[in-house]
Amino acid sequence: MFSYCTDPQTLEGLKWLSCYLTTGKHMSFYLSFGTVLVLLAITAPTALGFGFLGAMAARARFAPFRWIGKSYTAIVRGVPDIAFFLFFVIALDQAFEWMRHKVKCPDWTDPIRQGNDFVVCDAAKLPLSTSPQWVHETYGFFVAVLTFAIVFGAFAANVLYGAMRAVPRAQMETAEAYGMSQRQSFWRIMVPQMWVYALPGLSNLWMILIKATPLLFLLGVEDAVYWAKELGATKTAKFSDYPHTNWHMQYYFGLLVFYLAFTSLSERVFKRISARLSHGQATAAGEAQRKAAA
Amino acid sequence: MKKLILTTAALAVTAGFAMADTVRLGTEGAYAPWNFVNDAGEIDGFERELGDELCKRASLDCTWVKNDWDSIIPNLVSGNYDAIIAGMSITAERDEVIDFTQAYTPPDPSSYVAMSADVNPETAVVAAQAATIQAAFVANNGWTLIEFASPEETVAAVKNGEADAVLADKSFLDTMVGQDGLVMLERMEAIGGGVGMGIRESDGELRAKFDTAIQSMKDDGTLNTLIAKWEVSSQW
Amino acid sequence: MSCLQTIQDYAFRSIGYGERLLPRSDFTLCEQFTLIGSGMIWNIYYGLVAIFFGFFFAVTLAMGKNSHHAYLRKPAEFFIYVFRGSPLFIQFFFAYAVFLSLKQVYPIFQPLTAAWMGATVVLLLNTSAYSAEIFFGALRSIPKGDLEAADAYGIMGLNRFKRITFPTMLRLAWPSYTNEAIFLFHATALVSFSSFPVRGQKGDALYYANYFADKTFNPFVPYPILAGYFIILTLAVITVYGIANRHLNRHLPQEKRKPARIRINLFR
């Protein structure tokens, strides 16, 4: 990085540190925080989408939909996320490739499962084995997002299902009295009002999601925890220009600060959203706002 | 088997016309000196050099992929990369699930490191990384085993007194001897076979290519030079 | 070997009884079910101990956070903030380091570096922080009228806490507290990924699932088995807490006694 970094053995103190902290490996470490943030930013709305679908399914009048919705939330919520991550990504990847294989190579005669091997035709590979590395990484990232979204979607479905039931019955009855159809009253009355009831649950879910990101490496994404572990491990002079003893303590302390800062920032943001959502609502908080303004 | 040879031959013919194939090599990146991540954040080590050279000789276009050790075989058979080159010993168990090329390093013993040279592993608390051949060895002998998630932690356990000795690959422990008074015991255990590349059983052609390339490196002595440079094992 | 024989050999392997050697080849489904189930003993142990002792600590912390005195409030707030704001695995790491150095100064702390004690302590502190936040929220939402009525009847001090504040707090907090219990049991799966070592191959459920996944190279059997056990455990937790909830609300008129909705109200 800096011009004086060519021979780190001769450096000392701050100069050494400035070189050490700007190695290519450290750059990957810093970038991985970005990866975590991007993953959170994409996963949260996706999981909310899954949750919404799950909650709608659980409320459906058509029984099979209801069963699907309810068993999705019950099963996925019953399993520790770590156990889920250990086999689900490979399963998901194989499912995609199997579907592409059926579409793209209809005249393929060899079995897909050959002993332990899972073999699909070259055109069905995801991503194609000829694609550059960044495509592979993006695909891996996408699968990780999807896995997170499926797991947290189940929790979100549960929260939203509760929130939909918490919207006062009188509101829905009024909508019916105004002649709204089922669909209209759902989208115009229930959906706008349910968020205030869902917010406490959703904000907690967001916090759980943040703290589940250290499991990302199990999904094949190199996150901040992976790099902290790698960088903190003992380095001998033979394999590194910056030999040091075991520095896991220091690196993990950095992670601790990051997570504490990030969760408390999130808490503050949620407080604001909550205040805004409560505005004009028929809840205690909404009532308190009204009184304060009057 | 006959069919395999035929397809290999057919492929050898077509390979002349086709562009170089892209082959993805899976490694762990946390096992110096075999494979590790260097200061620049790239995969480095004995196997990095070896793999690049093998690909050149087999005229393959190779890319490197990092994967967690625990899921390195499931991801291979699932097709996420085409070969494992990660200091993996050839064992009968693994050979049932995947195929191996011929070994590129000879079998090397596992050794013990302790704080004093007179520790007896049979009566001591022996640390090993969980789910390794060394852990299985200690457990099967009925000695007192204590397992840690990473190799680094096993060595740390000896330093802080949680364990009396650690059993691991000699090449790995060689890099640790001398730190904070760690010494290597004289006793060695011959567990594990030579190290080879792991390849899907359905991928006979690729295995043949790498086999040929490894043989050519053995024949002209470059492999021995590489082994000597990285001090990973004894020579051929 | 029959399945019955396998169960005899391995059902209590995780706590050191039965066959010393784990199966090494020709893994049957029965062996996987038995050993992973045997490991569940530890997960249940961690969960139960942490919840039991964590409950009392959590109530204390919640009272502390609700206190008017800064010297009580500030430490409680800080404790809850740190344990709720950081990932569990980092807590495991630092706790192990602290326990190690404690042990070297005072030999009495010897057991803390073993998972059965050390990991339990970390889980206990962790769940206390989460539960304390739930209880704190419940304390704040106790209807004012209830407390005023207590005052009017001359119920004061400890008596008021025992008869009014505490039961009402529990009633209000119960649905969220159920969720916390579920999450805590899930968190016990992280123990074998933590810094705490496993002695003599006596590990928890994930340790054995990992063992089989590593030996068979097939993650699609052991991990779903583990998942199945956890689903059963979760259902059991929901049932037990549901019974407790009915007990807490037994004074309410029948038709108003709605089952507690399991809402996710806390975070890990």
- A183/C124: higher pLDDT: C124
Please count the other Cβ atoms lying within 10 Å of the Cβ belonging to residue A171.
13
Nearest residue of chain A to residue C217 (CA atoms): A116
Type and span of the H or E element at B154: helix B151-159
Instruction: Tell me the three state secondary structure of residue A244.
Output: strand
Which residue shows structure tokens 């260097």?
A: B38
* Residue A262 scores a pLDDT above 90: yes
Supply the ipTM of this predicted assembly.
Answer: 0.85
B3: confidence class by pLDDT, cuts 50, 70, 90:
very low
Calpha distance C51→C181 (Å, rounded) = 7
- Residues of chain B above pLDDT 90, percent: 28
Token pair listed for B85: 């080159």
C125 and C86 in contact (C-beta within 8 Å)?
A: no
Which residues of chain B neighbour A219 with C-beta distances below 8 Å? none
Q: Among A129-138, B88-97, C167-176, C233-242, whose mean pLDDT is lowest? A: A129-138
C40 and C205 in contact (C-beta within 8 Å)?
A: yes
A289 and A279 in contact (C-beta within 8 Å)?
A: yes
Calpha distance A196→A277 (Å, rounded) = 6
Nearest residue of chain C to residue B91 (CA atoms): C215
A43: confidence class by pLDDT, cuts 50, 70, 90:
very high
Q: How much is the pLDDT for C30?
A: 92
Type and span of the H or E element at B100: strand B99-100
Q: How much is the pLDDT for A153?
A: 93
* Residue A12 scores a pLDDT above 80: no
Q: How much is the pLDDT for C258?
A: 54
A290: closest CA of chain C, how far (Å): 19
Region B145-163: mean pLDDT is 87
Which residues of chain C neighbour B131 with C-beta distances below 8 Å? 210-211, 214
Q: How much is the pLDDT for C260?
A: 52
Quick check: C210 and B153 CB within 8 A?
A: no
Q: How much is the pLDDT for A48?
A: 95
* Residue B75 scores a pLDDT above 70: yes
Q: Does B80 touch chain A (CB under 8 A)?
A: yes
Fold held by A21-293: MetI-like fold (1.10.3720)
Say which of C21, C25, C198 has its CB closest to residue B130: C198
Domain residue spans of chain A = 21-293
Q: How much is the pLDDT for A65?
A: 92
Calpha distance A137→C72 (Å, rounded) = 50
| Chain region(s) in chain B for CATH 3.40.190.10 | 2-106+193-230, 110-189
CA distances (Å), C194 to each of A254, B154, B211, in order? 18, 13, 40
Of the candidates A200, A196, A199, the residue with the CA atom closest to the CA atom of residue A280: A196
C10 and C19 in contact (C-beta within 8 Å)?
A: yes
* Residue B11 scores a pLDDT above 80: no
* Residue C198 scores a pLDDT above 50: yes
CA gyration radius for chain C?
Answer: 22
Q: Does C101 touch chain A (CB under 8 A)?
A: no
Q: How much is the pLDDT for B212?
A: 92
Domain at B110-189, CATH class: alpha beta
Calpha distance C177→C171 (Å, rounded) = 10
Q: How much is the pLDDT for B14?
A: 39
Alpha-helix residue ranges (DSSP H) falling in A60-132: 63-78, 81-104
Cβ-proximal residues to B41 (8 Å cutoff; 6+ apart), any chain: A23, A24, A25, A27, A28
pLDDT tens, A142-180? 988 999 999 999 989 988 988 888 888 888 889 999 999
Q: How much is the pLDDT for A1?
A: 59
Cβ-proximal residues to B130 (8 Å cutoff; 6+ apart), any chain: B147, B148, B149, C198, C207, C210
Q: Does C114 touch chain B (CB under 8 A)?
A: no
* Residue A276 scores a pLDDT above 60: yes
pLDDT tens, C133-161? 999 988 888 888 888 888 899 888 888 88
Query: Beta strand pairing status for B43-44 and B35-37?
Result: antiparallel
Quick check: C195 and B153 CB within 8 A?
A: yes
pLDDT tens, A88-107? 888 888 888 888 888 888 87
C55: confidence class by pLDDT, cuts 50, 70, 90:
very high
Type and span of the H or E element at B157: helix B151-159
Q: Which of A90, A134, A247 is the best residue to mutate to test the B interface, defined by the most B CB atoms within 10 Å of its own CB? A: A90
A86 and C222 in contact (C-beta within 8 Å)?
A: no
- B108/B120: higher pLDDT: B120
Region A77-82: mean pLDDT is 88
pLDDT tens, C204-257? 999 999 889 888 888 889 999 999 999 999 999 999 999 998 998 888 765 555
- Residues of chain C above pLDDT 70, percent: 94
* Residue B182 scores a pLDDT above 70: yes
* Residue A283 scores a pLDDT above 70: no
Q: Does B63 touch chain A (CB under 8 A)?
A: yes
* Residue C174 identity: W
Region B182-207: mean pLDDT is 88
Q: How much is the pLDDT for B7?
A: 43
Say which of B21, B40, B77 has its CB closest to residue A118: B77
Phi and psi at residue A166, in whole multiples of 5°?
A: -85, -15
Q: Which of A26, A117, A248 is the best residue to mutate to test the B interface, defined by the most B CB atoms within 10 Å of its own CB? A: A117
Task: Report the range out of B104-108, C1-5, C60-64 with the highest average pLDDT.
Answer: C60-64
Say which of A200, A208, A252 has its CB closest to residue C268: A208
Region A40-48: mean pLDDT is 94
Q: Which of A72, A77, A196 is the best residue to mutate to test the C interface, defined by the most C CB atoms within 10 Å of its own CB? A: A77
* Residue A213 scores a pLDDT above 80: yes
Calpha distance B234→B228 (Å, rounded) = 8
* Residue A115 identity: G
Region C26-46: mean pLDDT is 92
- A282/B151: higher pLDDT: B151
Quick check: A239 and B42 CB within 8 A?
A: no
Region B41-56: mean pLDDT is 92
> pTM to 2 decimals?
0.87
C neighbours by CB contacts (3+ pairs under 8 Å): A, B
Is the four-CA dihedral C22, C28, C32, C33 of positive or negative sign?
negative
* Residue C263 scores a pLDDT above 70: no
Burial of C96 (0-12, 13-18, 19+ CB in 10 A): buried
Q: How much is the pLDDT for A30?
A: 93
Fold held by C27-256: MetI-like fold (1.10.3720)
* Residue A282 scores a pLDDT above 70: no
In chain C, positions 192-211, which contact chain A (CB-CB < 8 Å)? Answer: 193, 206, 209
CATH 3.40.190.10 for domain B2-106+193-230, yes or no, is yes
Q: Does C231 touch chain A (CB under 8 A)?
A: yes
A88 and A154 in contact (C-beta within 8 Å)?
A: no
Region A101-122: mean pLDDT is 80
Which residues of chain B neighbour A220 with C-beta distances below 8 Å? 67-68, 75
Quick check: C201 and B147 CB within 8 A?
A: yes
Q: Which of A1, A118, A229 is the best residue to mutate to test the B interface, defined by the most B CB atoms within 10 Å of its own CB? A: A118
Nearest residue of chain A to residue C81 (CA atoms): A260
* Residue C18 scores a pLDDT above 90: no
Q: How much is the pLDDT for C148?
A: 86
